[in-house]
Amino acid sequence: MNLILAITGAVLFLILAPLLGGLIAGVDRVLTARMQSRRGPPVLQPFYDISKLWHKERAFANPVEMIFTTGYLVLIAFSGALLFSGGDLLLVVFTLALAHTFLILAAYAANAPYSTVGAERELIGVMVAEPILILLAAGFFMITGSFFVSDILKETVPAIIYLPGVFLALFAVLTLKLRKSPFDIATSHHAHQELVKGVTASLSGRTLAKVEIAHWYETILILALMFLFFAGNPVLGIIVVVICYFLEILMDNLFPRVTWKMTVKSLWIATILLGVINIAVIGVVGGVIG
């Protein structure tokens, strides 16, 4: 029965995540347009864009980018499938980092100024985001005794009670993962970046389509990680995730982009002050209780 549930969760993620991720991207565009007093595109515009990219004539700055972008998409999808099948959370984090390594290699393969700088900033983004994701996995292990998502979901007491600092640090990193201001240093969710889409500047056609689909997968994956903090109360979890995403859209329209140095300082300070201290307190309290 557990195996059937695991396979069902993985299959549902692989099928539904890009659909839901595309819809979220469409709603994102509409809300952004409204905040800027524009009409904006239709909600289904992201799907139209992907269809157009998929049918474009193939053109490569370097043919090897096709291999790297395919690896990026496959690994992102595998990370999410592993999460939704109730698998090892730590393996999800490491696979996610490996996936972004393939995106970085794809940008480097183009050997173009904008994509090279974008690749370097994407590498910085991985370096900044990974610590809090590892702390997240460690925090869940400390309060549940397991890295497996299936065990975390069985907890009746929401993890947010024990890990509020880790949750807030993850919310800060969410801005980076969603490619939104003020931390969209490698590429932006919307085409308003000084690097002209940065890490994806030299990608086109199907290679760019695969990167966009992978971003939809990753959006659902990261939002699911936030939902885990409220596994004991799913309704509250959904409400909090929706509010958090709306706040991300709001910040994207209110705050200017900061430099990569400020991004590193800000997110590492958030990781240390919120995440590391939260984990340390749990370790001390757990030791005292034990």
pLDDT tens sequence across 193-226:
444 567 787 888 888 899 999 999 999 999 999 9
Nearest to 177 by CA among 88, 267, 288, 273: 267
Query: Residues 179, 211: contact at Cβ < 8 Å?
Result: no
Q: What is the 3-state secondary structure (H, E, C) of 74-143?
A: HHHHHHHHHHHCCCEHHHHHHHHHHHHHHHHHHHHHCCCHHHHHHHHHHHHHHHHHHHHHHHHHHHHHHH
Which two tokens mark 171? 């919310």
User: 1: burial class by Cβ within 10 Å (0-12, 13-18, 19+)?
Assistant: exposed
Residue 192 — pLDDT band, cuts 50, 70, 90?
low
Prediction pTM value: 0.91
Q: Is the pLDDT of residue 46 over 80?
A: yes
The SS3 call for residue 268 is helix
Residue 190 — pLDDT band, cuts 50, 70, 90?
low
Q: Is the pLDDT of residue 95 over 80?
A: yes
Query: Residues 282, 163: contact at Cβ < 8 Å?
Result: yes
* Separation in Å, CA 224 to CA 21, 66, 91, 92, 258: 12, 28, 15, 12, 27
